[in-house]
Amino acid sequence: MSGRYLEDMVVGETRQLGSRSLSEDEIIAFALKFDPQPFHIDREAAARSHFGGIVASGWHSAATMMRVVVDRAMADGPGGFIGSPGFEDLRWLKAVRPGDTLNVTTTIAEVIPSTTKPDRGVVRTRSEVTNQHGEMVLTMNGKGMCLRRPGTA
Amino acid sequence: MSGRYLEDMVVGETRQLGSRSLSEDEIIAFALKFDPQPFHIDREAAARSHFGGIVASGWHSAATMMRVVVDRAMADGPGGFIGSPGFEDLRWLKAVRPGDTLNVTTTIAEVIPSTTKPDRGVVRTRSEVTNQHGEMVLTMNGKGMCLRRPGTA
């Protein structure tokens, strides 16, 4: 399958991109590096906290979503995405706990051809991450810069 | 020094929270786990890309900002922050490259006492991350849930 370029992005299209699980070891290892709050790294402190047990850093959940997105893009084949200028609105809705599986679904919200660079555009996306119980744990309204298929600009 | 609670948050207050450097090994290790695009993990592919060399995953830059924030909070002592519901608007403005040092500055934008839970409120923050050349690489408008000092609610 060839990769996806700007002209392949259809507003309203929803894709289930894949899923990935987080072990307690992974949750603690990430948090020790980037977010060493007690409820992410210390079982006893986490049990006493308002979470009632170890929970993943929200940044770990977000990075895990990114991994699913990138794995899917690589499976699609080389395509037009060349980076992201950032995003609007990321929400952490429910704690992610050891053993949870995160499922990522992304919908194309808007395709905005560049007015100055005819070979590219911005794709606005709505991503939703659910756990194995179908509960929404994270949502993000993102943006990606995407090239047109080579030779078509 | 005692920790910081909702009543310690002064709108307009700006704090330099600290800084942290990213090595090439760290950039590649993070990206192999969470964002294995060629320009994050492969020197030769990165050199051929529009970045011209290895750059950090934007999620790595964001997680590094979080580490600086958490280290500062821990140095302040136990305080009122109990988590974040998410944030509005994160922007990646400039690539982060091996050896770059990220400096984090946060300004209190708004303090919103809860109307339903008198022991807490939401603190809106504006965070700016600059590199060692003073260039802005990331900005984020964030939100944190923060308790009042115990016994004062």
Provide the pLDDT for residue B1. Answer: 45
Mean pLDDT per segment of 10 residues, for chain A of length 153 residues?
84 97 98 96 95 97 97 89 90 98 98 95 97 98 93 71
With respect to residue A61, please indicate whether it lies within any of the assigned structural domains.
Answer: yes
Q: Hey, CA dihedral for B69, B71, B74, B75, is it positive or negative?
A: negative
Q: Is residue A152 part of a domain?
A: no
Residue A80 lies in a domain: yes
In CATH, what number is assigned to the domain containing residue B61?
Answer: 3.10.129.10
Tell me which chain B residues have a C-beta less than 8 angstroms from the C-beta of A89. Answer: 86-89
B residues 11..40 contacting A (CB < 8 A): 33-37
Report CB contact under 8 Å: A66, B33: no
The string of pLDDT tens digits covering residues A76-93 is 888 888 889 998 899 999
CA of A65, closest CA in chain B: separation in Å? 8
Tell me, yes or no, whether B1 lies in a domain.
Answer: no
Interface probe for A, chosen from B87, B122, B136, B138 (most Cβ of A below 10 Å), is B87
Say if the ipTM goes beyond 0.85.
Answer: yes
Contact state of B88 with A84 under an 8 Å Cβ cutoff: no
User: How many angstroms separate the CA atoms of B120 and B147, rounded?
Assistant: 4
CA distance readout (Å), A64 to A18, A36, A138, B50: 11, 18, 11, 25
pLDDT tens for B113-133 read 999 999 999 999 999 999 999
What residue numbers bound the domain in which B36 lies?
A: 6-147
| Any domain includes B10 | yes
Residue B43 domain flag: yes
In a domain, residue B115? The reply is: yes
Look up the pTM and report it.
Answer: 0.94
Shortest CA gap B91–chain A (Å) = 4
Taking the CA of residue A10 and the nearest CA in chain B, the distance in Å comes to 23
| C-alpha to C-alpha distance for A84 and A62, rounded to whole angstroms | 15
Residue B152 in any domain: the answer is no
Number of domains chain B is built from: 1
